[in-house]
Amino acid sequence: MRFIFKTSYVQDLGIFRDGVQRNWYVALFFGMLALPLLIPSYLVDMSLVFIYGLCGLSLMVLAGYTGLVSLGHAAFLGIGAYTHVYAVHDLGLPWVVGVALACVVTAISGVLVGLPALRMTGVYLSIATLAFALIIQEVLTRWEHVTGGLKGKPVDKPIVFGVYLGGDVAFYFLCLAFLIAGTWLTGNLLRAPTGRAWVAIRDSEIAAQSMGVNLAVYKTSAFAYSAALMGAAGALFAHKIGFLAPDIFTVLLSIQFLLMVVVGGLGSLHGAFFGAVFVALLPVAISQARDLVPVWASALASPFGKSAGSSAFLAVDQFVKKPGLEPGLFGLILVLFILFEPLGIYGRWRKIQLYFSTFPLYKRATFRRQKAYMRSERLR
């Protein structure tokens, strides 16, 4: 077990816990830099992981830190993507201005959603955001001279300050840069009074209010900031998929984002990234595994004779090629996750860390859940 020796208050203000943690992150950074050399064929998937990471960050601020669960975040992604593409293609603005505009427009729409949300909590708020997402999807479909309607809108490769960044490697680094910048900004807010006020609203609105937190200001600022992050992610997402259509930004995508933060672990930035990796890479992993399964099946059946081998191969092959197997498996894994690790991947990660740092003395009961009998009456 490592104890951090603190000699000044400044030590508690850093973005990293201590030098050791910082070194791990530097190592991770270099790992990310070297990744294009290691797995060149999966770079496209990795840039999606980074974009989803930004989305996870965005929803983590809102759902994980402020406690406002949104079921309409795909709408912000859509607004960001369309704004960016409209600014860059139709208005001919520079790429960077397009991204900035995407952030501003989504932030404003975030405020517009946040304002009525001040009077709602819990499930009711989620339903309101869901309605917002449906409205936005309809707007994207109907507002044809801006969005191209159902015909869709093709997206060119990104050209930033005259530099073409459309290649897989270049785009990978572009997404990485955005993710690092987004994480840094979010980390800054979370260690400042604004972040504390958000957490306070999540844990007890009434106490936050009594300590001087203006609920209206901080709830809308959480919505605006979260939406702005989503806007930046939307700009990148547009380039990633290369073609915008309203049916991309469905409720299903919003739910995927929500799963991301829940599976990753609510209330930690790590969780957002773990969730992004999980949601972006699990379908890839499932389809990879699906290609291998028939081969294994026939290999396992081969000692029973040639006909048994080939019939097993055929049966398994037919089964794994059934449509809907992928989302089904995805769902199954999710259910198992929430059943056995409600704290998410980050919670499991912390347990593993603790196991090794306290090695022979780890107690299983450390994380046992207890029933709390306090806070029976609450003012609402």
Partner 1 sequence: MSLFVAEGLVMDFGGLRAVDGVSFRIEPGEVFTIIGPNGAGKTTIFNLVSRIYDASAGRLIFDGEDITRVPPHEVARRGIARTFQNIELFEHATVLQNLLLGRHAHKRSRFVEELLFLPRVRALELEHREAVEKVIEFLDLQPHRDSLVVNLAYGVRKVVEMARALCTRPRLLLLDEPSSGLSVEETEDMAFWIQDIRTILGVTVLMVEHDMSLVSSVSDRVLAVNYGRPIALGTAREVQEHPDVVKAYLGG
User: Does 358 help bind partner 1 (rule: CB under 8 A)?
Assistant: no
| Nearer Cβ to partner 1 (214/318) | 214
Tokens of 359: 């090695």
User: Does 221 help bind partner 1 (rule: CB under 8 A)?
Assistant: yes
User: Does 323 help bind partner 1 (rule: CB under 8 A)?
Assistant: no
Neighbouring C-beta atoms of residue 139, cutoff 10 Å = 16
Question: Residue 153 pairs with which residues in a beta bridge?
Answer: 244
Q: How far is the CB of 293 from partner 1 (least distance, A)?
A: 42
Cα distances (Å, whole numbers) of residue 29 to 168, 229, 326? 18, 21, 32
Closest by Cα among 320, 247, 253, 250 to 289: 320
| Nearer Cβ to partner 1 (10/37) | 10
Q: How far is the CB of 64 from partner 1 (least distance, A)?
A: 10
Cα distances (Å, whole numbers) of residue 340 to 279, 333, 334, 335, 336? 18, 11, 10, 9, 6
Question: Residue 160 pairs with which residues in a beta bridge?
Answer: 163
Site for partner 1, residues 164 to 193, rule: CB under 8 A: 185, 188-189, 191-193
- Segment contacting partner 1 by CB under 8 A, of 9-17, 87-95, 133-141, 346-354: 9-17
Q: How far is the CB of 69 from partner 1 (least distance, A)?
A: 16
- Segment contacting partner 1 by CB under 8 A, of 26-34, 86-94, 158-166, 371-379: 371-379
Are 262 and 64 spatial neighbours (Cβ–Cβ below 8 Å)?
A: no
User: Does 204 help bind partner 1 (rule: CB under 8 A)?
Assistant: yes
Furthest-apart CA pair in the chain: how many Å? 77
| Nearer Cβ to partner 1 (84/202) | 202
| Nearer Cβ to partner 1 (79/107) | 107
**Among residues 108, 130, 199, 333, which is the contact residue for partner 1, using CB under 8 A?**
199
Locate the DSSP E strands across 152-291.
Answer: 153-154, 159-160, 163-164, 243-244
Site for partner 1, residues 233 to 292, rule: CB under 8 A: 267
| Separation CA 117–CA 131 (nearest Å) | 12
- Segment contacting partner 1 by CB under 8 A, of 33-41, 197-205, 243-251, 342-350: 197-205
| Separation CA 223–CA 157 (nearest Å) | 30
Q: How far is the CB of 90 from partner 1 (least distance, A)?
A: 30
Give the total of residues touching partner 1 (CB under 8 A).
Answer: 38
- Segment contacting partner 1 by CB under 8 A, of 53-61, 199-207, 282-290, 330-338: 199-207
DSSP 133-192: HHHHHHHHHH-HHHH-GGG-EE-PPPEETTEE--SHHHHHHHHHHHHHHHHHHHHHHHTS
Question: Under the rule (CB under 8 A), what is the footprint of partner 1?
Answer: 9-10, 12-13, 185, 188-189, 191-197, 199-200, 202-204, 206-215, 221, 267, 372, 374-379
